[in-house]
Structure 1
């Protein structure tokens, strides 16, 4: 509403209410009545659009978003997925924002995103086709029927269907109010003179692009353009130019969504901008030909019919324009990627004291399945840091090269920081409307994050101090071989945990638990060997020998505790994977 008020103010400034014409002073405009019709109609239109989109998303939107992240084997299927998703959620901007989030979270590559972005523009034409129907007379009936369905039934599906019908009724009624509110402008010379400038495409593109950027909805712009056309205020050519402007203005949403994100996310937004602007530039010289084409598609080619159906022709032009652009750009997706790489080149990431999550993206929180998938990816990254920290510590003990604390401490600080970021992310996700399976998965991921945090604490608080003590002398023959074997097994367990988190279908989590008998046997053998080593020293036993044994057993004990936390994390990760498969099946 605020943006619409700004737009009305711009219109008022562009053509004052009192203007001198050849016939004398122009009549006063009923400004208050016009403002009520335009702003009130726009508010109902946008509210109806949101209501319809919310109902559609509640019914199938989550599955559409899941499909969007997965059905990207090639650019054609990716484009189809983008078109279907956008048609369902009624917003190419939302689809593009989701794509930026998926790319940031590692759920989709930049190459895969090209097809989805192209398809999203095709799907956005569904809104224009819907609002071009002349069903304003039944709008109030649709609102009443839809409202009755939401009140009478308690079942979810009929209730959402009622919301869809009511939302569509609000859209059509809002368009009728906007059209009626602007009707006096047909007899207002300054406005008609200003609208005549819209026959030149550049002013029309600028106005529509600015408005779309303000309201961040090309669907709203398309609705207003069709409402204006219904009142006979603009020609088909001007309507096409305004639609072109809406396509450019919607790029602002993608740019805002990528702000502060990775270079990959910025490139995804750049692809969206290049595609939309490139498509407009290709068609800009051919607006008259496109107008003639859609007029020729009018029923039986009748001129009278074509002139009376400018709104439908604008919607058809919008569809033809985006379909043609999709067919033009799909084969040249690699060129779009190349241009995006030129616009957003690689550069070293600035160093930060605070570790930055790689996969967690707040834009995924409205899609719990995708957010949970991103959470698993971040946990896999944390498991990799834990594994590398453990290996470096053991390497410092075995090879005695450098102080392991200096090599490991920064990574452990990062691991603790990522644990905090992970818990914060999952806490925000927990405030969403989650299913039972999604809530269970969230709990498992919290547990895994805590297990990885405990591994960091064990390495820094127990293993590193014990390693420092052991390095003051060589490891005893009783422990050296078995200690290396034990550490190797635990390193393998941490690697299996990492794979179980990044690829649940691998089943590697079970391997971590199956290693327990081997770990227990190795520890028991190490303790027995240490005891026999001390007993063999007899009279030559020194206090230093006892200290060495205690230090070596402290290392063994710390390694065992690292494994215990890894085993618990693997068990939680395996249960999370089961819940994920159940959630997808339902």
Structure 2
């Protein structure tokens, strides 16, 4: 091969690889967005049954065509405490099975019919430009991505066919299993996709090229790709908590142990490929894809009963740090899936509202008991709510920057809701001021007055419990009860203010208490209003 031919070969090969990766990205990104609700439903079915979790991991990865995305999401769920390590370990094993679907698709390029699939690029782009529906546009991009995958594979295969003799001569001399194993690890770690590496190897087989003597050599590269694929999850877990790091380590251990086990098997059985897959299947591309699936399926069957051991080893190697981290449901890894991110934001908003309500309760007790010692704990909770609020807002801004138009309404609603929740924290802050003023000016409120206020506060507690259920359960049937509670609170306010005016006229209440009392009752009514605003955002 001359220098000029080498340059042309490299250009064609890289161009084909680039087209293939663009196709995979289009396919993965749009399937993920189109099926994001189903992905969310799958993850919510997480159970303590290992086979169920394996199935969820496999189905999710097969759906979005990327074990990297699935594993990163799993690491994210572990990091925020939604999923435990035992569940994550089984899901990761399932993800390894699901990722072999891409190789199976690539193996279809060995059949002539796939030439016609390339027309999907044109059909898909016409759909995306002509259709106004967001879902139809995504479907168009999915079709285009599928077509680009086969165009990329065809470009790679053609580049190799043009220089088959020279390339074959180079690959024939590469027979060292350890070198081939290392090549698989390095190339996959470099592109962060085992599917891409495996597909290049499949394109070589379609071009009629063989590695080494044409025996087990190609399988050593496939084994290496499985270890290289762990890089994405490991990198994702570096800046996370101990459990997230453990999930990344479990992924690495599972793939490494499985690859080493099969490495030993292939070393002891030199004719493994000829005696098995080459006998069963007529296409070299299909043989490679089937071995990839067989390897991951076998490893899952072998290691699934030992999930607890993987978890214990990870806990020994990565001990828990003593410093406590703030409880949060948000993780940047989930930003890639808007539906999951929005679901987590709703849970984080409930965490914010619980904190704001705790601040209100503490501030109310401080006022009720005229206890100055409760002011500081209330302020601490108010500050904590402020920190959660800023975390949510920053996360919403990042989600909005990369979300689709169809998600903007939900994001805008969350922006409004967290603002209403923070008004509760502000009301708590007002109550601490009423307490300070009462103590400073020696203001006294009778037990009967406090009892009346307490009835209003109890109704607000009932209203908050209903609103919380409504947000989490999406049960619009609760709206009628919330509206009735809000009407009761409005009536309470009028009733309490009327009674206060009567006490003022009779001299039973001192005028200097009026400012605190009127503002306090008005703030309670405002709290009910904000809960109503939050509740009604669920409509539609």
Q: Taking structure 1 as reference, are residues 570 and 137 closer, same or farther at Cα in structure 2, changes over 3 Å only? A: closer
Contact 2:154 2:203 in 1 (8 A): no
Q: 1:489 to 1:236 in 2, by over 3 A?
A: farther
Q: Distance in 1 between matches of 2:117 and 2:490?
A: 70
What TM-score comes out, normalization by structure 2 length? 0.86
CA shift for structure 1 position 528: 4.1
Q: Report the secondary structure of 2:152's partner residue.
A: helix
Summarize the Cα distance change of 1:459–1:428 in structure 2 as closer, same or farther, 3 Å threshold: same
1:402-441 superposed matches below 5 A? 402-432=372-402, 434=404, 436=406, 438-441=407-410
1:435 to partner: Cα distance: 6.0
Identify the residue that residue 210 of structure 1 maps to in structure 2. 186
* In the alignment, structure 1 residue 33 sits paired with structure 2 residue 33: no
Q: Measure the CA separation in 1 of the matches of 2:515 and 2:86.
A: 56
Question: Is 1:171 the equivalent of 2:152?
Answer: yes
| Aligned equivalent of 1:482 | 452
Match of 2:211 in 1: 233
Output aligned runs, 1:203-352, within 5 Å: 203-229=179-205, 230-234=208-212, 235-288=214-267, 292=271, 294-298=273-277, 309-349=283-323
Q: What do the CA deviations read for 1:433-472 (whole angstroms, capped 9, x no partner)?
A: 5465x44333322221110122222322x32211212233
2:336 alignment partner, SS class: coil
1:248: Cα distance to partner? 0.8
Mapped pair 1:468 → 2:436: yes
| Equivalent pairs, count | 527
Q: Distance in 2 between matches of 1:488 and 1:63?
A: 37
| Alpha-carbon shift at residue 251 of structure 1 (Å) | 0.8
> Quick check: 1:552 aligned with 2:517?
yes
Task: Report the more deviating stretch, 443-452 or 61-70.
Answer: 61-70
Q: Is the 8 A contact 1:139 1:173 kept in 2?
A: no
- In structure 2, C-alpha distance between the alignment counterparts of 1:447 and 1:168, rounded to whole Å: 42
Q: Secondary structure at the match of 2:210?
A: coil
Q: Would you say the 8 A contact 2:122–2:144 is kept in 1? A: no
Q: From the superposition, tell whether residues 248 and 376 of structure 1 become closer, same or farther in structure 2 (CA, over 3 Å).
A: same
* CA shift for structure 1 position 373: 0.6
Shift of 1:536: 4.4
User: 8 Å contact 1:82–1:123 — kept in the other structure?
Assistant: yes
User: Hey, what does 1:368 align to over in structure 2?
Assistant: 338
Deviations 1:289-324, CA, capped at 9 Å, x for gaps: 6775553345766xxx87xx5443332221111001
Change (3 A) 1:236 1:498: farther
- Larger deviation: 222-231 or 319-328? 222-231
Whole-angstrom CA distance in 2 between matches of 1:92 and 1:101: 14
Q: Residue 425 of structure 2 corresponds to which residue in structure 1?
A: 456
Find the partner of 2:474 among 504, 507, 510: 504
Q: Secondary structure at the match of 1:515?
A: helix
User: Which residue pairs with 1:70 in the alignment?
Assistant: 44
Q: Is the 8 A contact 1:42 1:178 kept in 2?
A: no
**1:447 equivalent in alignment to 2:425:** no
Counterpart CA distance in 1 for 2:404 and 2:54 is 29
Kindly provide the CA deviation profile for residues 76-103 of structure 1, in whole angstroms up to 9, marking residues without a partner as x. 2322232222223222111111222334
> What is aligned with 1:563?
528
Q: Hey, what does 1:5 align to over in structure 2?
A: none
Describe the shift of the 1:341–1:181 C-alpha distance in structure 2 as closer, same or farther (beyond 3 A).
Answer: farther
Question: Distance between the aligned counterparts of 2:108 and 2:473, measured in 1?
Answer: 48
Deviates more, 1:315-324 or 1:356-365: 356-365
* Alpha-carbon distance, 1:219 to partner: 0.8
> d(CA) in 2 for partners of 1:109 and 1:187?
48
Q: State how far apart, in whole Å, the 2-side matches of 1:111 and 1:65 are.
A: 20
The answer for unaligned runs of 5 or more in structure 1 is 1-16, 18-26, 580-586
CA distance in structure 2 between the partners assigned to 1:67 and 1:551 by the alignment: 49
Instruction: Tell me the residue number matched to 1:44.
Output: 19
Counterpart CA distance in 1 for 2:279 and 2:168 is: 32
Give the RMSD, CA atoms, in angstroms. 3.2
Give the secondary-structure state (helix, strand or coil) at the position aligned to 1:359. coil
* Correspondence for 1:9: none
Deviation string for 1:156-181 (max 9, x for gaps)? 38745641552232232133045336
Distance 1:377 1:512 in 2: 20
Shift of 1:119: 1.0
How many Å separate the matches in 2 of 1:134 and 1:512? 59
Please say if residues 204 and 242 of structure 1, whose CA atoms lie closer than 8 Å, have aligned partners that are also in contact.
Answer: yes
Distance change >3 Å, CA 66–CA 478, structure 1 → 2: closer
- Residue 380 of structure 1 corresponds to 350
Question: 2:364 is matched with which residue?
Answer: 394
Please state whether the residue corresponding to 2:527 is helix, strand or coil.
helix
1:98 aligns with 2:67: no
Distance in 1 of aligned mates of 2:31 and 2:502? 72
Q: Quick check: 1:142–1:168 contact (8 Å CA) kept in 2? A: no
Asked if 2 retains the 8 angstrom alpha-carbon contact of 1:185 and 1:192, the reply is: no
Q: So what's the TM-score if we normalise by structure 1?
A: 0.80
Q: In structure 1, how many angstroms separate the alpha carbons of the residues matched to 2:320 and 2:479? A: 36
Q: 1:528 to 1:411 in 2, by over 3 A?
A: same
Q: What are the within-5 Å matches in structure 2 for residues 144-163 of structure 1?
A: 145-150=119-124, 154=130, 156=136, 159-160=140-141, 162-163=143-144
Segment of structure 1 superposing worse, 212-221 or 272-281: 272-281
Q: Aligned to 1:260, what secondary structure does the other structure show?
A: coil
Counterparts in 2 of 1:516 and 1:272: CA distance versus 1, 3 Å: same
Matched, 1:526 2:526: no
State which drifts further: 235-244 or 417-426: 417-426
1:231 match: secondary structure? coil
The answer as to whether partners of 1:500 and 1:508 remain within 8 angstroms in 2 is yes
The Cα of 1:331 is off from its aligned counterpart by 2.6
State the distance in 2 between where 1:150 and 1:504 align: 36
CA deviation vs aligned residue, 1:522-559 (integer Å, no higher than 9, x gap): 33443344344444447xx8xxx321343233322222
- 1:107-126 Cα distance to aligned partner (Å, 9 max, x none): 54443323321111111112
